[in-house]
Amino acid sequence: MALSREYWQGFRDATPFILVIIPFGAVFGVVATEAGLNLAQVMGFSVLVIAGAAQFVAVQMMVENAPVLIVLVAALAVNLRMAMYSASLAPHLGKISWWKRGAVSYFMVDQAYAAAILKYENTPDMRPAQKMAYYFGVVTPICPLWYLATWGGAVLGTAIPAGLPIDFAVPITFLALIVPMLRSAAHVVAALVSILGVLAFAFLPFNLGLLVAALLAMMAGAEVERRMRARQMP
Q: DSSP string covering 44-78, please? A: HIIIII--HHHHHHHHHHHHTT--HHHHHHHHHHH
Average pLDDT over residues 117-145: 92
CA-to-CA dists, residue 64 to 67, 70, 205, 206, 217, angstroms: 9, 11, 9, 7, 25
Residue 151 CB partners (closer than 8 Å, separation 6+): 29, 39, 42, 43
Among 139-143, 194-198, 202-206, which stretch is predicted with the lowest mean pLDDT?
202-206
Q: What is the CA radius of gyration of the chain?
A: 19
Query: What's the mean per-residue pLDDT of the chain?
Result: 83
Give the pLDDT score at 24: 83
Q: Give the pLDDT confidence score for residue 64 in this predicted structure.
A: 81
What is the pLDDT averaged over residues 83-95? 85
pLDDT at 1: 45
Do residues 204 and 70 lie in contact, with contact meaning Cβ atoms separated by under 8 Å?
no
Q: What is the mean pLDDT of residues 189-202?
A: 87
